[in-house]
Copies of this chain bind each other. A is one copy, B any other.
Amino acid sequence: MAKSSKENSPITDHLAYLLAQANREINRQLELRLSKEGVPVEQWRILKVLSDGNGHSMGELADAVLLNHPTLTKMIDRMVSDTLVYRVQDPNDRRKVLMFISDRGKVLSKKLNSLAVDQEEHILESYGDKSTSELKRLLESLIDSSN
């Protein structure tokens, strides 16, 4: 009798593990670059999302930057102290808070973006154009299929 094929498979066969491993590595590299500006990856994400100039509610922002609400609240507190972003109460729904990027935030955001783009280019070089775009495509479709 043959066992179920996956029962004793090494952990490296699991998609969940490969994703965690790849994410950890790429994130570590990005972190290293952003540390030049002393900013964690999450703040890069926040500034990038807000840099469309529009107001974004906390809930919307939490989804976009992959943070839980309380974690986001506290990170935004720090960024407000650093005058990178500011809160405005939503006049249409006073439960909501709209977040905006400040001028200082925009300046920092540009620097961070160029560091992030550096990384993307570095990946393109070592990993290849074809693989990168194919991987992005597959990741997007995995995310889609998970909703």
Contact = CB atoms under 8 A, between A and B. Distances in A.
A98 interface: no
Taking the full assembly, how many copies of this chain does it contain?
Answer: 2
Interface residues of A, number: 50
A23 interface: yes
Contacts of A107: none
A120 B6 contact: yes
Interface string A111-145: 00110110110010011000110111011111101
A64 B7 CA distance: 19
Interface stretch (A12-20, A75-83, A89-97): A12-20
A29 B142 CA distance: 13
A2 to B, nearest CB: 15
A22 B139 contact: yes
B138 A131 contact: yes
Contacts of A12: 140
Given A7-B117, A45-B11, A48-B11, A143 B19 contact: no
A66 B53 CA distance: 37
